[in-house]
Amino acid sequence: MALEVCVKAAVGAPDVLGDCPFSQRVLLTLEEKSLPYKMHLINLSDKPKWFLDINPGGKVPVLKIDGKWVPDSDIIVNLLEKKYPEPSLKTPPKFASVGSKIMTTFVTFLTTKDASDGPLLHELEALENHLKSHDGPFIAGERVSAVDLSLAPKLYHLEVALGHFKSWSVPGSLTHVHNYMHALFSLHSFEKTKAEEKYVIAGWAPRVHT
């Protein structure tokens, strides 16, 4: 029986895949494990009753597995790894927190008026140093793993949203970060599950104060 997953529909286009990085993380995991799934696009500004019935919290993503609906991308990804261990997407524990503060610092810089890019640059430089001192192209080596599938959508949002709203881009001096982003964005699974740039911009627009 195919898995079912509820993910965000695009803002203003309820029949198109939307811009939620946590939804994309789950879709990337399903794709990288070659698991068949049925996708439900949820319009978060007009949530259907059936969705709220199965998921009163109303957040996405939610995955139906073994007849139960499970929320939260962290829980979903761990559950999929346990139930479908091959191919393994486990990240070695020592690498699991690499890049973990990038999203927080990106959101603060994007949504806070007159915010400095210093904290975000600090996190990106830490990622650069990790990539420089370890074999790649991914965080844990040659093979993509869970930490990459978590970071990929966040780095995509960072590139698109900061480029549009702040005319900001990752410094060219961070060559390993640029190469890493290229490796992630070139994955077939990423191409298949990413939101169009215009929907990433539409998704962030209400939170940006320029």
Place of tokens 């969705």: 51
Active-site hit among 17, 20, 147, 151: 20
The tokens describing 76, both together, are: 């979903």
In the annotation, is 20 catalytic?
A: yes
* Strands of the chain, DSSP E: 3-10, 13-17, 37-42, 62-65, 68-71
Torsion 209-97-123-170 (CA) sign: negative
Measure the CA–CA gap between 60 and 186, rounded to whole angstroms. 25
Asked whether the beta carbons of 119 and 125 are under 8 A apart, the reply is no
- DSSP 3-state of 57: coil
Asked whether the beta carbons of 166 and 109 are under 8 A apart, the reply is yes
Rounded to a whole number of angstroms, the CA Rg of the chain reads 17
Measure the CA–CA gap between 141 and 134, rounded to whole angstroms. 7
- Residues known to be catalytic: 20
